[in-house]
Structure 1
Amino acid sequence: MPQGLSRKIRIAFILQAVMISLAIVLSVYLISAVVKQSLVNTALQEEADHYWSLYEASEAQPPPNTYSLRGYLVLRGRSNLLLPENLRTLAPGFHELKADDMLVLVDERAPGRLYLVFLRSQAERLAFWFGTVPVVTALVAIYVVSWLTYRASKRLVSPVSWLARQVAHWDPRRPDTNALAPDRLPLEVQGETRQLAAALHRLGERVSAHIARERNFTRDASHELRTPLTVIRMASDMALNEDSTPRVSRALHRIQRAGRDMEAVIDAFLILAREAEVEPQSEEFDLADLVEYETENARPLLLGKPVELEVDIQAHPRLLAPPRVMHVLVGNLLRNACSYTDHGRIEVIVETDCVRVRDTGIGMSEESQQRAFEPFFRADESRPHGTGLGLSIVSRLCERFGWKVSLESELGKGTTATIHFA
């Protein structure tokens, strides 16, 4: 998982180590400067005070002369020619002679001047041992502690990461919950993570059972509905072969069209009930012919309404898909347009890459458009026709075949529904 807990913790520790390193490097620099200046200056001043106290006790006390410190005493009124040449012009106070690699304290008292010379190399060594070494040691300790903390944190979150990977690999249509069964969980999955795994296992099983029940119901109901439809179609065919009045003939034709529409809906339900890997039977057909057929079937829905229904064929695209699916899609959009349009016109436009159904009906608000594809949602509950399933079925079928359905609507001015299939 590219954004898993383990990676986030690793990044957090790396950033922490980098920031601490920068802070310590800066501290080393500052501490080195402090050691070389303040610490050495303080040491030289204390050394001078100590010498003058010894000198008061005995004027024969020689100046300091050690491995890292050289001392010179020039009594008042005496010549300073005995001093090294680079010290003769120095005034009382601290001096840094970079050219000679020296730190010098000139301390003037009543007896005379004391020159204390501290070699810069010794100051560097002092800064290293009392500044750099402790800081580097602290830095190494921080790195070790950070690494150990990271390892401990990784062990703590590894069960959660494992659980997230297992759930991420689930197929929404058929979640595999076997790995989360209590008897198959790894030993490191304990505590709250184990409880979460058990809850996800139960949830996955319920989802699988629900999907199976829905698929089986859709398949069985669609299969059982074919029997009465077959009887209706055969009875209407036999009735049409007999002499009947024009009014009865029109009614029988409407029954036959309704039967064919119902068969198309049943086929669509069966397609939705099948697994995604099982491709439905497809054939090549002319979309314009199909749209004209569905338009004629929709005209009886506008009887008594001052609404014009027109077809604008701008192209003749040929699609390779189950024709009855497209019958369901176009038919649902047309029925919606007829149900929600009381005056004006409905226009069906066939283009190269889409088919549009445009009406001058009641339209939809922005909130209704966001919920239009929800099952059983109806923009106007006062309308007597419709169950709120039409657009939901259209949306699911389009998703099943890789098409796209979109709505453009303005309240009181109409709606345009478009199916993009290219």
Structure 2
Amino acid sequence: MMRLFRDKRDHPLGEVFNRYYWLQIGLIALSIVIGIGCSAWVIKGTLLTTALEQEMEHYWQRMERNPEAALPDTKNLYGYRWSDDELAPSEFRNLKLQSGVHRHYIDGKDRMTVYGTRNGEHVFLVFGESNVNKLIWLFGLAPLMVSLFLLYSVLWWWNRRARRYFSPITRLANALEHIDWEHQNNRASPFKEIKTDSNLEAEYLKQALEKYHQVLSEFIQREREFTGDVSHELRTPLTILKGNVQLCQARYGDNKSFTRLQNTIEDMQLLVDTLLAIARNTTSNLQSEKIRLSELLQDVVSDLNSVSLAKGMSIDLNIEVDEVKRHLYPSMTKMVFSNILRNALNYSQGTSINVILEKNKVLVADNGIGIDLPNNSKVQELTNQQLQLDIKGHGIGLQLVQKLCKQLGWRVELFDREYYLMTHPKVDLSLSSGLIVVVYLNDQPPK
């Protein structure tokens, strides 16, 4: 389980630390590049230019004192001097020399030069730039790189210390976030293998989470066992009642009392079967079949025909697509739509129910009184939060539908009928009050 958590994406808290760590490195790297660029511009573009101009001026001053003053001849600076254009060095005769500092290709390299004339004398000084580059590297960039290496090392150490301190908390948060309450083993704690690295606060948090997980797991297990046991216990008396009602109908004939009793028993059997399916909380032990959904819907409508007649309502099934076979769980699929239709028959107070099968969704529309959706909205997705709302007049059918659809990977939304028809004009229904339940199907085969 821990390997699974490590493979997951980092928790937002860890992402924050990583983000700021790399942001610091990026800003430092950017400042280095800008600093080096500015240093190169200052050194080569300003300091060297000023230095060469001063060297030239200094040489003219020396010539005023001594016309035979020697040219500079150092490791970084050397020069040429001539008094007549015809006596100029051969490599300079084809060059268009201008006074001031320029760059020329001298001695096989592109170098900085300074040229000037005074009193008929021509002076051309060449700067040995490569030597200065070595000095810049040795006394400028090398110390900078060493200092940056030390700075990055400190940042890396600080980040490791920070991650060591907060890593247990992020791992605990990840473990809590990815608990599979639907299929998890209540005896195995997902926090057990997380090391807190002597972090007392993380250790206290870990112990509290383990206790919380144990209490909640035991509660969920008790609820499932209770629901399953009650469902099993109710099946036997309901079966006996159904058999006795059928015997009474065979002996005394059909009448309204027997019909109502029969319908009530069938409602109770559907409720028990639904609760049992929810208690099992898995589809792994069910057999899927490749079948057309329209066939299942027709079976459901046929099964509810007697109920709808007794209520004075009609159920119309419209198939608007060339349907292909789907991978479905027939029993749970029938439970979903039986609950929706029985809910509409019992509580909508309308005269008709339309079941429309589209490409990837099924609409169940009634023309009854509808329900008040939360916050005066016209659409509401049926989620766990929705189950906490007061939906009197519509029983527990919608709640059961939500739980079943969650196991099937489907999604359910409730719409005010008028609003849905105005926003979906292609739906061929009369504009009236009522409720539309939309079940969005999953195209993927069940796993």
If the length of structure 1 is used for normalisation, what is the TM-score? 0.72
- Residue 333 of structure 1 is matched in structure 2 by 340
**1:228-307 mapped onto 2 (5 Å cutoff):** 228-230=237-239, 232-233=241-242, 235-237=244-246, 239-240=248-249, 243=252, 249-276=255-282, 279-280=285-286, 287=296, 288-302=298-312
| Contact 1:298/1:334, CA 8 A, preserved across alignment | no
Q: 1:130 aligns with which of 130, 136, 144?
A: 136
- Residue 220 of structure 2 is matched in structure 1 by 211
Q: Give, in whole Å, the separation in 1 of the partners of 2:442 and 2:81.
A: 102
| Contact 1:24/1:139, CA 8 A, preserved across alignment | no
- Residue 400 of structure 2 is matched in structure 1 by 393
What amino acid maps onto 1:398 in structure 2?
C
Structure 1 SS opposite 2:304: helix
**1:334-413 mapped onto 2 (5 Å cutoff):** 334-339=341-346, 341-348=348-355, 356-363=363-370, 367=377, 369-370=379-380, 372=382, 374-375=386-387, 377-378=389-390, 381=392, 385-387=393-395, 389-411=396-418, 413=433
**1:115-154 mapped onto 2 (5 Å cutoff):** 118-120=125-127, 122-130=128-136, 134-135=140-141, 137-139=143-145, 141-154=147-160
Q: Which of 1 and 2 has greater Rg? A: 1
Q: Give, in whole Å, the separation in 2 of the partners of 1:7 and 1:376.
A: 34
Kindly state the Cα deviation for residue 96 of structure 1 after the two structures are TM-superposed.
4.5
What amino acid maps onto 1:205 in structure 2?
Q
Kindly state the Cα deviation for residue 350 of structure 1 after the two structures are TM-superposed.
6.6
| Contact 2:99/2:114, CA 8 A, preserved across alignment | no
Q: Give, in whole Å, the separation in 1 of the partners of 2:131 and 2:365.
A: 88
What amino acid maps onto 1:331 in structure 2?
S
Which 10-residue stretch deviates more, 164-173 or 211-220? 164-173
What amino acid maps onto 1:138 in structure 2?
L
Kindly state the Cα deviation for residue 201 of structure 1 after the two structures are TM-superposed.
2.5
What amino acid maps onto 1:210 in structure 2?
F
Kindly state the Cα deviation for residue 103 of structure 1 after the two structures are TM-superposed.
1.9
Kindly state the Cα deviation for residue 276 of structure 1 after the two structures are TM-superposed.
1.7
Kindly state the Cα deviation for residue 41 of structure 1 after the two structures are TM-superposed.
3.6
| Contact 1:240/1:252, CA 8 A, preserved across alignment | yes
| Contact 1:69/1:117, CA 8 A, preserved across alignment | no
Q: Give, in whole Å, the separation in 2 of the partners of 1:217 and 1:142.
A: 66
Kindly state the Cα deviation for residue 273 of structure 1 after the two structures are TM-superposed.
0.6
- Residue 434 of structure 2 is matched in structure 1 by 414
| Contact 2:362/2:438, CA 8 A, preserved across alignment | yes
**1:85-100 mapped onto 2 (5 Å cutoff):** 86=92, 93-94=100-101, 96-99=103-106
What amino acid maps onto 1:119 in structure 2?
V
Q: Per-residue CA shift, 1:216-236, capped at 9, x if unaligned? A: 221233234345435544553
| Contact 2:290/2:325, CA 8 A, preserved across alignment | no
Q: Give, in whole Å, the separation in 1 of the partners of 2:329 and 2:173.
A: 38
| Contact 2:278/2:404, CA 8 A, preserved across alignment | yes
**Sequence identity percentage:** 26
Q: Give, in whole Å, the separation in 2 of the partners of 1:52 and 1:24.
A: 40
Taking a change above 3 Å as real, the CA distance of residues 12 and 102 of structure 1, as seen in their structure-2 partners, is same
Q: Give, in whole Å, the separation in 2 of the partners of 1:132 and 1:161.
A: 45
| Contact 1:70/1:118, CA 8 A, preserved across alignment | yes
Q: Confirm whether residue 311 of structure 1 aligns to residue 316 of structure 2.
A: yes
Structure 1 SS opposite 2:377: helix
Kindly state the Cα deviation for residue 272 of structure 1 after the two structures are TM-superposed.
0.7
Kindly state the Cα deviation for residue 17 of structure 1 after the two structures are TM-superposed.
4.6
Kindly state the Cα deviation for residue 81 of structure 1 after the two structures are TM-superposed.
8.5
Over aligned residues, Cα RMSD in angstroms? 4.6
Taking a change above 3 Å as real, the CA distance of residues 228 and 130 of structure 1, as seen in their structure-2 partners, is same
| Contact 1:13/1:146, CA 8 A, preserved across alignment | no
| Contact 1:360/1:414, CA 8 A, preserved across alignment | yes
If the length of structure 2 is used for normalisation, what is the TM-score? 0.68
Q: Per-residue CA shift, 1:289-343, capped at 9, x if unaligned? A: 33212132233234xxxxx4143475998986454x4554333322332355445
Taking a change above 3 Å as real, the CA distance of residues 159 and 141 of structure 1, as seen in their structure-2 partners, is farther
When the two structures are aligned, how many residues end up with a matched partner? 399
Taking a change above 3 Å as real, the CA distance of residues 141 and 243 of structure 1, as seen in their structure-2 partners, is same
Q: Per-residue CA shift, 1:189-215, capped at 9, x if unaligned? A: 615443443343333223312311221
Ranges in structure 1 where 5+ consecutive residues have no aligned partner:
303-307
Structure 1 SS opposite 2:402: helix
Kindly state the Cα deviation for residue 251 of structure 1 after the two structures are TM-superposed.
0.7
